[in-house]
Amino acid sequence: MDRVILGDNQFFAVNHLSDERSRAQAIRFKEDQAILDVLDNARACGINTFMCTTHDRIANITAYMRKRPEEYKDFKFHPCMPYAHKYANAVTELGILGTLKAYIPGNIFAVTGKAGIAYMRNDYLSLMELLVDAEMKMFQGMQTPVIFLQNVIVDLLYGLGMDEVFVHFAEYIKKKYHAEPGFITMNMPRLVDMCERLGIENPIICSSINKIGFRMSGSIAEYEDYLNSDRKFRPMAMQCLAAGALKPEEAMEYVTRFPKIEAVLFGASSKAHIQQTKDLILRGFAR
């Protein structure tokens, strides 16, 4: 993984502290070109990896890049799935089978038959494969070296004890997409424990890591113990700024204390802030 990765929260009006900022972001990024401008600014700053949800508008971004393969040949995506709001809204309008029909790619009659059979049999592993394929369709032709399972699903499945889904997801991502599986969670220590127990080797685990414990389940001390340990996992830090509660300098000074962290995910919308954050991260790890 690249050390510095740009995220997409700012594009889709996600701000965990301020509704006012969310509304302003929604207005600013209502056109796809505004998103592309920020991605091009990130590329100009030397950031070539974009971690994003499978929001419908991302399909417009990848379609634009597919038409310019030489310009974006070094650009990589880290898809995060599923985009829960998309499916929740669809299920409300269409029902479960209607949602499967709407989002599963391929011959609609053949695939719907498979999906319907899987649903009736409660074959969640087959459904998972179908939905992963549906989400990945928008990234056709793009580089996707890591594919993440979103925390809303990771933490739910962990709580339900559905261990087989994690193992199957990891195997399917490796086999079908020749990519590394990643897991986003609000409880890094417990997910590390789970992966060790299930034999998922050296997993990529993305979680909130910041000096005030914002959106971190478990104590700061426990996180630090894991980050300073010789446990075999690959941590990625997100929400390092605690949604703006921390200044960039103090936030990145804390995160870069831990050499074990392989990548830092952040959101920014101006070229100056992108460059500043990247410099703080790289300078911190170089100490």
Q: What does the alpha-carbon distance between residue 35 and residue 2 come to, in Å, rounded to a whole number?
A: 21
How many structural domains are present in the chain?
1
**Predicted local confidence at residue 41, as pLDDT:** 97
201 CA to centre of own chain: 19
Query: Is residue 252 assigned to a domain?
Result: yes
Q: What does the alpha-carbon distance between residue 81 and residue 214 come to, in Å, rounded to a whole number?
A: 22
Torsion from C-alpha of 49, 55, 61, 66, nearest 10 degrees: 80
Query: Is residue 175 assigned to a domain?
Result: yes
Determine if the pTM surpasses 0.85.
Answer: yes
Query: Is residue 103 assigned to a domain?
Result: no
**Predicted local confidence at residue 124, as pLDDT:** 80
- Read off the pLDDT of residues 194-203 as tens digits, 9 standing for 90 and up: 999 999 999 9
**Predicted local confidence at residue 109, as pLDDT:** 47
Q: Give me the mean pLDDT over the 189-197 stretch.
A: 98
Encoded tokens for 234: 């690959």
Confidence of residue 128 (pLDDT cuts 50, 70, 90): confident
**Residue ranges making up the domain that contains 62:** 4-86+142-286
Alpha helices in the chain (DSSP H): 19-28, 32-44, 58-66, 84-103, 108-120, 124-136, 151-160, 163-177, 188-198, 220-227, 248-255, 271-286
Query: Is residue 105 assigned to a domain?
Result: no
- Read off the pLDDT of residues 270-285 as tens digits, 9 standing for 90 and up: 999 999 999 999 999 9
Please determine, for residue 133, whether its predicted confidence score (pLDDT) is greater than 70. Answer: yes
- Read off the pLDDT of residues 65-122 as tens digits, 9 standing for 90 and up: 999 999 999 999 999 998 766 666 666 787 766 766 666 655 444 555 656 665 545 6
Please determine, for residue 184, whether its predicted confidence score (pLDDT) is greater than 60. Answer: yes
Query: Is residue 124 assigned to a domain?
Result: no
The CATH number that applies at residue 184 is 3.20.20.100
Query: Is residue 276 assigned to a domain?
Result: yes
Confidence of residue 130 (pLDDT cuts 50, 70, 90): confident
Please determine, for residue 249, whether its predicted confidence score (pLDDT) is greater than 70. Answer: yes
Q: Give me the mean pLDDT over the 11-33 stretch.
A: 72
Query: What does pLDDT average to over the chain?
Result: 89
Query: Is residue 117 assigned to a domain?
Result: no
| DSSP β-bridge partners for residue 77 | 50
Q: What does the alpha-carbon distance between residue 215 and residue 207 come to, in Å, rounded to a whole number?
A: 9
Query: Is residue 74 assigned to a domain?
Result: yes
